[in-house]
Amino acid sequence: MQLTWHNYKYYPYEKDLALREIQSLLTPDLIEVSEKGVNVKHPVTPEMAQRLVYFAGYTTELGLPPVNTMQRILEQVNGSNTSRQATRYSAHGLHEYKGKFNPQVAKAILNIFAAKPGQIVLDPFCGSGTSLVECAHLGIDAIGTDINPLAVFIANAKLRSLQIPAERLLRDGISCLIEAEKYSCIHFVGDERDIYLQSWFPMDYLQQIEKLRRAIEQSGSASTNTMLVIASNLLRDYSLQEPHDLRIRRRKSPFPEKSFFQAYREALEAFYKKLSDFQRNVGVVEIKQRAINIDCKNAMGHDGLGANTFDLALTSPPYATALPYIDTQRLSLVWLGLLTPSEVKLLEAELVGSREIRGAGKKNLLAHLEKNEDGLPETEAHFCLQLQQALSETDGFRRQAVPRLLYRYFSAMSDVFASVRGVVKEDAPFGLIVGGNHTVLGGTRFDINTPQHLANLAVSRGWQHVETIPLQTYKRYGLHQNNATTTEALIVLKAAASN
């Protein structure tokens, strides 16, 4: 069997993952790599070549034209330039979500773990649902959890869109737009939500935004949440928030020339085209995946999350102090009614990896760090203490908080490992894409090898560390360079036998 590469340029780690995919899915006698592709000798399961991520096609006999892999079909129907890897195929580009999982990597992990229909996959930090969508493509049951209600809302809207004919989505979306344009002026009741939105949107835009929301919610359409997510993705562009700034910043850039209604129609039609292309090749997908709005540190006992439920797990967890997720998403959270404005900051503080640390929590967290009250492994506890002792008066408040935030992050991730171990089967694999970074305290640079630290934490909470695969950092959409991680790795774990 001859496998051919995609036309885009590969990172070295992608070719490494490609070979691991082959070994796991095809179990051949021999693998020979060339510039054009890979020659696979005597694959046991040649039909599985269709699932490969990093190959465009395959031939089973000399002289026959290559058969496209499903991945090539998915990326081509996105209308993308085949010289670049497409990441917004299917439902993946429905709503911006900073720091999201690369879909090819998510699918590659599923392939390397030989996930198959009949199994159940867990993603404890599912975010906007990248891994869940990839499981849907493969017909594999999956549950994702996330503490962020917007992430769960987007993830479930993506999944829902895959099982609704694209023509119906377009028809319902245009119908809602026509209804919204008929509405007279919206009257605001002056509650916390209304006051907040009026402070962040010019009134003429807010009128259009609220009219559309009302029309969508009153439509009774099966596509209601998908349409709301399409609208939500436009909010920052029409707000008084600087659209491309991750932090809360008042707008200086000009507003779009087109109306919100026009922008919504264009976004609806663009998603319709992508979805109809997908459904023409794959069909309408039966959805057996879902996202649940819970804290994954306490997963056991929630609906569908019992002991020994999951066959494997994969995730891309938050990085310590890497991104202000909730600041970026607060307008959508409030507009969709998922949180009140006063609840937004409370959620920010609860996120794993959050930068928020306030009041008495600072002192309490320092005591935890100095005494290792959370019982972290010695290496991680000592590292946090070393950072704390390195602080000087010249370090600003952000750097002063780093040791305590890192200790809290390690403690939270330790709880995550214990929680996930409680709901997976013995020997279940768990793959995590994790980034490391560095900090400078007291004039000294400290490299934070997060992959190694998390592997240590996992071992202390019921996992075996199988290996860590270094990855060259792939560019994540829309990140400020200062927030980007400097290293990335795939940690591979296996659920150890219970004592």
The CATH number of the domain holding residue 478 is 3.40.50.150
Do 391 and 447 reside in the same domain of the chain? yes
Does 93 map to a domain? no
Q: How far apart are CA 430 and CA 419, in angstroms?
A: 13
Q: What is the pLDDT of residues 248-258, one digit of tens each?
A: 889 999 999 99
Mark whether 416 and 292 lie in a shared domain.
Answer: yes
Position 42 scores a pLDDT of: 93
Q: Is residue 86 part of a domain?
A: no
Domain annotation covers residue 120 = yes
Say yes or no: 359 and 486 in one domain: yes
Mean pLDDT for all residues in the chain: 92
State pLDDT tens for residues 91-133: 999 999 987 789 999 999 999 999 999 999 999 999 999 999 9
The pLDDT of residue 359 is 63
Lowest-confidence pick of 32-46, 67-81, 300-314, 373-387: 67-81
Q: Three-state SS for 163? A: coil
pLDDT value at 476 more than 70:
no
Assess whether pLDDT exceeds 50 at residue 448. yes
Looking at the structure, tell me whether residues 276 and 301 fall in a common domain: no
294 has a pLDDT exceeding 90? yes
So what's the pLDDT on residue 158? Answer: 98
**Phi/psi of residue 181, each to 5°?**
-70, -20
The phi, psi pair for 121, rounded to 5°, reads -105, 145
Cα angle 419, 425, 431 (rounded to 5 degrees) comes to 70
Task: Give the CA distances from residue 191 to residues 188, 196, 302, 340, in Å, rounded to whole numbers and listed in that order.
Answer: 8, 9, 33, 10
Q: What's the average model confidence in pLDDT over 160-170? A: 98
SS3 494: strand
Say yes or no: 403 and 490 in one domain. Answer: yes
pTM across the whole model: 0.94
| CA 182/CA 114 separation, integer angstroms | 53
Q: Which of 282, 306, 329 lies at the terminal end of a domain, its last residue?
A: 282
Domain membership of residue 82 (yes or no) is: no
List, in sequence order, the alpha helices (H) in 336-427. Answer: 341-350, 360-371, 378-390, 397-423
Do residues 311 and 199 both lie within one domain? Answer: no
Kindly state whether residues 275 and 295 are assigned to the same domain.
Answer: no
List all residues 6 or more positions away from 172 whose beta carbon is below 8 Å from its beta carbon: 219, 221, 222, 223, 227
Give the 3-state secondary structure of residue 252.
coil
Tokens of 478: 């829309």
Residue among 91, 99, 89, 85 at smallest CA distance from 54: 85
Residues spanned by the domain of 58: 2-77
Residue 478 has pLDDT above 50, yes or no: no
319/295: higher pLDDT: 295
Backbone angles phi, psi at 117, to 5 degrees: -55, 140
Name the domain boundary from 261, 282, 303. Answer: 282
pLDDT digits (tens, 9 = 90+) for 360-370: 678 899 999 99
Residue 158 inside a domain? The answer is no
**Quick one: 112 and 70 in the same domain?**
no
Last residue of a domain, which of 256, 282, 308? 282
In sign, the C-alpha dihedral spanning 466, 472, 473, 474 is negative
Reference 462, options 413, 400, 412, 419; nearest CA is 419
Q: Could you tell me if residue 25 is inside a domain? A: yes
pLDDT given for residue 363 in this prediction: 85
Q: Say which range, 83-87, 238-242, 376-380, has the weakest mean pLDDT.
A: 83-87
pLDDT tens digits, 326-356: 888 999 999 999 999 999 988 988 888 887 7
Q: Are residues 179 and 228 in the same domain?
A: yes
User: pLDDT above 90 covers what percent of the chain?
Assistant: 79
Instruction: Enter the tokens of residue 244.
Output: 């491309």
* Number of domains present in the structure of the chain: 3
The candidate with the shortest Cα–Cα distance to 312, out of 466, 157, 478, 86, is 466
The answer on 324 and 237 residing in a single domain is no
State residue 352 phi and psi, 5-degree precision.
-65, 130
* pLDDT tens, position by position, 202-239: 999 999 999 999 999 999 999 999 999 999 999 999 99
Identify whether 161 is part of a domain. Answer: no
Output the CA–CA distances (angstroms, integers) from residue 309 to 31, 144, 159, 287, in the order listed: 35, 13, 21, 19
Asked whether residue 126 falls in the same domain as residue 204, the answer is no
* Measured distance CA(246)–CA(324) in Å, rounded: 7
In a domain, 92, yes or no: no
Give the pLDDT of residue 98.
Answer: 83
Please tell me whether residues 241 and 382 are part of one structural domain.
Answer: no
pLDDT tens column, 404-435: 999 999 999 999 999 999 999 999 999 999 98
Q: Is the pLDDT of residue 473 over 90?
A: no
